[in-house]
Structure formats: structure tokens, C-alpha cells
């Protein structure tokens, strides 16, 4: 089992109704890798600057994430994002983005990174996603996450990148925007005609929906009384989802198996529910496998009903 994750490694400054934090470790590759590390071996690929120190590295390494492919740019500064949330925490407001070392990023990709059988292309420029996908030809399952920025500014590149992956992960509104279909089921089918056999629609606090072949699956969000910081929830979901699928693949199963995909949706949701309970990576970095198992059981109880109840 080995999963290569490419995406941003960042410092995030975040304000929510529940507090404010400066320069926390974040980024799509970081949130993804921490979540996936509970299920499989993860190798993280991305550039950092001189401001990325041993403390940041140790967050990843203490979860067993392989950091050999993190590229340190001498004299550079790490990607920086500043944002805030109002009471509707489904919507992130960006106050500042500094690409820094990401502006010139040309991933080197070690032999080990290129040989991964599972690949995650986090939310970065679609051209970069295509470049990495082209060079990781061993991957039998590649997932891609993106955002409305690229639909608006680099649609053709994004469509090309999507054409070459197995699984597309996007917010439901973004799938609608990408395809021009108002109905989510139709929009997901249209997205599948672009290439991916699997489409995951992320729905914030409302959970997520999965489309694979003719199959469908939906899961509500895990209900929490305290959501402190939703930053990285989507990437954490993707990490739980692809990480679990890679563990099944490692056991000889197909990552396209619908039962495995359904279960992966549940694990992705569970991991995301932990992520939002505290700022940045604080909750996931201290998480245990037992807590994940316990919450999965709770979650099943919260969503279970019978197909043929005894009395009707």
C-alpha cells in the first residue's frame, strides 16, 4: 500500500466565531496526508520555504507520513492563506493568498512517489495536476480535488485534468457549475462523461454523495455541537476516503468496488468530523484509531434504518 499526495503545504491564519489563530500548519496535502495516514502509507509531495521548520515536519512524521518528497526552496517562503468564517461556517472568506514557493513549483517526484498505486491530486493549478498525473503512470486509482477558482479561470486545463483521473471530488455547487446542470444527479453523470468513473459531491455540513457507474450513495454530515474551524475538512474527507480505499486495494480488492467506496465515504466523513472540531490540524494530529472506530459506530447508529420494518 502506498499513496502519493500532491498539493499545498501551507501556513493558514484563520478566524472563526470561535477564535483566531496565526500561521497554523495547513494546506490540502497536509490535511489529506494526516487523515490518510490512519489507513495506509502516505507520501506527501509539495514545496516549502525556509519558514517551514522541524515543528511542522514533526506533525507529519509523528503520523508516519513520508516527507522525503517535500521540496525545500532555499530563500523561499511557504504558501500562505488567510481567511475567516462567519456564523455560516459552510462558506470560507479568503482575505489573503500568497503563493510564494508554489508560484514556481515544478514537482521533482522521486521514483517512490511515481510508483505509488494510488494518487491524490489536491487542489492546485490544473496544469500541475496534469503534469503529476502524466508522470505517475503506476497509479491504478487517481483522485482529483479542485475548486471554483479553476472552473472560472482555467476551465479547459481542469477538464483535461479531470479526463485523466478515476475519481473527481468537488463541492456540489462546483459540480453544478462545472457541468451547467442544476440537478446534482445529472451534474454528476455529466462529470462522469468527462472521464472519472467515480464522482464525490462534498456538501459541507450536509455530508457527501457518491456516484459510481450506475450506483449512488449518500451520507449526511456527522452532527456536531461544536464546529470550531472547517478549514481542511474537504481534504481530510479525501484523505479518509482514498486512504481507506488504498487499504482495501492493498488487501487485493478493487478500489472501484461499490461496497468499498460506500465504506470509504463513511470513513471520509468521520475523519472530516474530527478535523472541524478544532483549529488547523490540532484534532486530527492527536486522533487515535480507536476514536475513529468509535465514531464510525456512532455514525452508523445515527443513520441506520431498516428496509423492511416489522410493522407498517
Q: Which residues partner with 165 through β-bridges?
A: none
Residue 23 or 189 with smaller CB distance to a second copy: 189
Instruction: Kindly determine how many residues on this chain lie close enough to bind a second copy according to the rule CB under 8 A.
Output: 52
Q: How far is CA 100 from each of CA 9, 104, 105, 248, rounded to the nearest angstrom?
A: 11, 8, 9, 37
Name residues contacting a second copy, limited to 147-186 (CB under 8 A).
182-186
Please report whether residue 90 would count as binding a second copy according to CB under 8 A.
no
Q: What residues contact residue 312 under an 8 Å CB cut-off, 6+ apart?
A: none
Name residues contacting a second copy, limited to 253-272 (CB under 8 A).
253, 262-263, 265-267
Please report whether residue 144 would count as binding a second copy according to CB under 8 A.
no
- The contact mask relative to a second copy for 216-255 (x = CB under 8 A, - = no) is xxxxxx-xxxxx----------------x--xx--x-x--
Taking alpha carbons only, the member of 29, 52, 14 closest to residue 227 is 14
Please report whether residue 306 would count as binding a second copy according to CB under 8 A.
yes
Cell 450536509 maps to which residue?
Answer: 206
Cβ distance 27 to 10 under 8 Å? yes
**In terms of C-beta density within 10 A (0-12 exposed, 13-18 middle, 19 or more buried), how is residue 175 classed?**
buried
Residue 46 or 255 with smaller CB distance to a second copy: 255
- How does DSSP classify residue 103? G
Decide: helix, strand or coil at residue 84: strand
Name residues contacting a second copy, limited to 49-88 (CB under 8 A).
87-88
Residue 6 or 261 with smaller CB distance to a second copy: 261
Contact positions vs a second copy (CB under 8 A): 17, 39, 87-89, 182-186, 189, 203, 205-207, 209, 216-221, 223-227, 244, 247-248, 251, 253, 262-263, 265-267, 293, 296-297, 300-309, 311-312
Amino acid at each position: 500500500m502506498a499513496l502519493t499526495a500532491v498539493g499545498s503545504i501551507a501556513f493558514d491564519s484563520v478566524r472563526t466565531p470561535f477564535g483566531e489563530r496565526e500561521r497554523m500548519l495547513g494546506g490540502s496535502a497536509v490535511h489529506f496526508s494526516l487523515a490518510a495516514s490512519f489507513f495506509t502509507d502516505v507520501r506527501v509531495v509539495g514545496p516549502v520555504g525556509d519558514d517551514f521548520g522541524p515543528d511542522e515536519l514533526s506533525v507529519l512524521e509523528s503520523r508516519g507520513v513520508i516527507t522525503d518528497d517535500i521540496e525545500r526552496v532555499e530563500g523561499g517562503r511557504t504558501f500562505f492563506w488567510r481567511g475567516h468564517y462567519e456564523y455560516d461556517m459552510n462558506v470560507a472568506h479568503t482575505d489573503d493568498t500568497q503563493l510564494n514557493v508554489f508560484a514556481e513549483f515544478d514537482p521533482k517526484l522521486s521514483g517512490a512517489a511515481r510508483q505509488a498505486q494510488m494518487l491524490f491530486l489536491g487542489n492546485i493549478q490544473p496544469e500541475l495536476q496534469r503534469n503529476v498525473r502524466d508522470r505517475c503512470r503506476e497509479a491504478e486509482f487517481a483522485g482529483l480535488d479542485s475548486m471554483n477558482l479553476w472552473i472560472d479561470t482555467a476551465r479547459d486545463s481542469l477538464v483535461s485534468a479531470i479526463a485523466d483521473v478515476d475519481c473527481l471530488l468537488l463541492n456540489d455547487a462546483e459540480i453544478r457549475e462545472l457541468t451547467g446542470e442544476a440537478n446534482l444527479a445529472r451534474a454528476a453523470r455529466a462529470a462522469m462523461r468527462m472521464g472519472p468513473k467515480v464522482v464525490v459531491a462534498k456538501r459541507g455540513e450536509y455530508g457527501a454523495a457518491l456516484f459510481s457507474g450506475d450506483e449512488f450513495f449518500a451520507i449526511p454530515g456527522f452532527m456536531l455541537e461544536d464546529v470550531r474551524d472547517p478549514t481542511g475538512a474537504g481534504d481530510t474527507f479525501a484523505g479518509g476516503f482514498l486512504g481507506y480505499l488504498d487499504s482495501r486495494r492493498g488487501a487485493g480488492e478493487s478500489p472501484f468496488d461499490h461496497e468499498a467506496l460506500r465504506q470509504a465515504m463513511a470513513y471520509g466523513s468521520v475523519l472530516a468530523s474530527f478535523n472541524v472540531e478544532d483549529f488547523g490540524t490540532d484534532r486530527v494530529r492527536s486522533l487515535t484509531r480507536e476514536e475513529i472506530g468509535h465514531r464510525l459506530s456512532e455514525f452508523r447508529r445515527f443513520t441506520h434504518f431498516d428496509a423492511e420494518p416489522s410493522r407498517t
